A and B are shown apart, each in its own frame.
Chain A
Amino acid sequence: MTDPSTEPARVPDAVRLDLYSTMVLARTYELAIQREYHADKGPGFDIGKGLVPGEMHLAAGQEPVAAGVCAHLMVDDAVTATHRPHHFAIAHGVDLNRMTAEIFGRETGLGRGRGGHMHLFDPSTHFSCSGIIAEGYPPALGQAYAFKTRGTGNVAVAVTGEGAANQGAFHESLNLAALWKLPVLFVVEDNAWGISVPRSASTAVSSNAVRAAAYGIPGVRVEDNDVDAVYAAAGEAIARARAGQGPTLLEVATLRMLGHFEGDAQGYRPELAEVASHDPIPAYARRLQDAGILDEDAIARIATSAAARVEAAITFAKESPLPDPADVLKYAFAEEA
């Protein structure tokens, strides 16, 4: 295991601006979805009510992981994300309008309203996600297998949370990918909470990155939710994968700023009052300002641009038609598409 965060990562200025913009877009999106989600859940809180019904898992605070990893990806590279998928979808370039329409359950959505926010599938960017812990890892192996067989040089990125690192699918996937030298980057977002259970209550290892040793592959842990450090570590791992040297396990200590799901009061969480002070985005803005590559005007411009894109996507979703209930039996089988 190495710890790249001990040295400041050297990331080109233009890349750092892109990383910042990606994080801002993802955050703007999450907050807008949060606003829309809660807008019509009342009186009280009824999870099944409103324009955006069902569970909602937001990734505010975890943007550095998605931005730092996906900055190295091409559109033909694959990402399998978790039940908390929006930041990775945005960082990988999934169409914002169609993703939003899916979250709003519209016919124009990525899955024509059949999937919902935990089940987003975008073949144009090879993006998918799964509502089942760790079970997004095995399909990533197959995408990597197809890339390797065809010699495309593409990679697959498989994402889980730290709670999923205790699941069988996680370990089987690391073993098989290592054995076959598949071009995969396994990413663990360690936000320290498996719903309400702290990491200390779910595993005896201090870092999931050490588990890579069991499979003979590199394991890297980035300690401080630092997008520059994620970018540097992911870049090295993805380059290895593209060069045919096999998978890497990358764990990032990140921050779940919100509840496990919207409506989660987080009474189990003692450090809740301090969470806002660890927000990685203003911290990164300050760092870029100190480095002289970002100023107040640029911050405002990036925020305005993100807000415009997000609000346009929400408008697109709201103005899109709902699926026709007469089509409810479609798409169980391929020939009916």
Chain B
Amino acid sequence: MTTAPSTPVRRLNTSKAMAEAIAQEMRANPEVIYLGEDVGSYGGIFSSTVGLLDEFGPTRIIDTPISETAFIGLGIGAAVEGMRPIVELMFADFMGVCLDQIYNHMAKIHFESGGHVKVPMVLTTGVGGGYSDGAQHSQCLWGTFGHLPGMKVVVPSNPADAKGLMTAAIRDDGPVVYMYHKGVMGLAWMAKNQRSIGPVPEGEYLVPIGTAAVAHEGADVTVVTLGLSVHHALDVAEKLAGEGIGVEVIDLRSVVPLDRETIVASVAKTGRLVVVDEDYLSYGLSGEVIASVVEADPGLLTAAPRRLAMPDIPIPYAHVLEYAALPRPERIEALVREVLA
């Protein structure tokens, strides 16, 4: 269930909302720990753990050596023993050095044990580009995590969801990959989207894993997206509303499970579908969303579905090249207009 935000609401940036959820769960449960590279006094390279060391100390907010295989595996073993570790993989791009622990161990133990062993663990990781960090530090890769079975995958796009999804992830009895887009964290040293600071309920707040949100209602075209692209899509929706075009923006919030019902219900209303994905185009989330609609009812679409994703190239470094590849607002707008034409 979604806890209605009836409690007082303040404005926080996404990273503070994320850290607030972690702090609240750590106060409630001494078995919750957070470990990873630079999560202690630095507060996380993307501010995912700012302030936590001061309250919980170095035995619960734990800096690790640069050894992702060892410390992610450590999280798995601790979770198997009933602790609730949160483990940070600094960049999703680094999954290659530790992928075996993630997909062969963290994600499979519950299944292989026939449900007898639970792995209540959260793997947090920073994703996304737009700041010229190049091909090895800018990927989203949620399609890869989503493709490999056994782990839930969540992608908050705003502060309230960052808190609610983190709370749900920590309480989940299985592994959850929590992918935060750097561009929505509200970092002081990165171009800030206006929505990276927003209202966040105080106290306990949960967003159930596997439920998409209708971020903007509209009757003419459905834009399905997640992460930073939600903000771009909302910018487009607000602009086109001035022209009398109704853009419905679906914020997936969760890659696994995928809320196909909400997607299909929206397309049933609008008849048109644009999928925007900052992950790679081929074999990825955008195809999955379109297939889900077509499988549900091929008659729902009144126009061919369209998708805007990272083209199948490594992410370029030069700013002009990176922006030429990323799903930026002007390209979303152009595609929305195309599908309406």
Contact = CB atoms under 8 A, between A and B. Distances in A.
Interface in A60-119: 78, 80, 109-116, 119
A138 B117 contact: no
Interface in B94-114: 97, 100-101, 104-105, 108-114
A135 B80 contact: no
Interface of A is mostly: mixed
A112 B81 CA distance: 20
A330 interface: yes
B121 to A, nearest CB: 9
B52 interface: no
Given A112-B115, A142-B76, A128 B172 contact: no
A112 B115 CA distance: 8
A175 interface: yes
Interface stretch (B14-22, B61-69, B195-203): B61-69
Contacts of B82: 146
**Among B64, B70, B80, B119: residue with most chain A CB under 10 A:** B70
A176 B150 contact: no
A142 B111 contact: no
Interface string A302-337: 000000000000000000000000000011111111
Contacts of B76: 138-139, 142
A146 to B, nearest CB: 4
Contacts of B174: 333-335
Interface string B63-91: 01101011111111111111101000000
A179 B74 CA distance: 13
A131 B78 CA distance: 20
B172 to A, nearest CB: 7
Interface stretch (A166-174, A189-197, A288-296): A166-174
Contacts of A169: 69-70, 73, 100-101
B114 A143 contact: no
Contact of A332 (B70, B85, B110, B172): B110
Nearest to B76: A139
B173 interface: yes
B213 to A, nearest CB: 21
A144 B82 CA distance: 12
Given A132-B100, A138-B69, A139-B105, A113 B149 contact: no
A146 B77 contact: yes
Contacts of A128: 80, 109, 117
A24 interface: no
A154 to B, nearest CB: 9
Contacts of B100: 132, 135, 169
Given A135-B101, A332-B149, A333-B174, A114 B74 contact: no
Contacts of A113: 114
A111 B74 CA distance: 22
B73 A149 contact: no
Contact of A333 (B78, B110, B116): B110
B70 A172 contact: yes
Nearest to B172: A334
Contact of A142 (B80, B117, B120): B80
A45 to B, nearest CB: 26
B152 interface: yes
Contacts of B150: 332-333
A187 interface: no
Contact of A121 (B69, B73, B104, B116): B116
A126 B110 CA distance: 14
A233 interface: no
B65 A176 contact: yes
Contacts of B114: 109-115, 331
A231 interface: no
A55 to B, nearest CB: 15
A331 B109 contact: no
B182 to A, nearest CB: 26
Contacts of A135: 69, 73, 100-101, 104-105
A33 interface: no
Contact of A156 (B77, B118, B119): B77
B81 A142 contact: yes
Contact of A330 (B73, B81, B83, B115): B115
Contact of B74 (A109, A126, A141): A141
Interface of A: 78, 80, 109-116, 119, 121-123, 126, 128, 130-132, 135, 137-147, 149, 156, 168-169, 172-173, 175-176, 179, 330-337
30 contacts: A78-B81, A109-B114, A111-B114, A114-B111, A119-B108, A119-B112, A121-B117, A123-B117, A128-B109, A130-B104, A132-B104, A135-B101, A138-B69, A138-B70, A138-B77, A139-B105, A142-B74, A143-B77, A146-B81, A156-B77, A172-B65, A173-B69, A173-B73, A176-B64, A179-B65, A331-B111, A331-B114, A334-B115, A334-B119, A334-B173
| 9 closest A-B pairs by CB | A138-B73, A142-B77, A112-B114, A334-B174, A337-B115, A172-B70, A121-B113, A146-B81, A139-B77
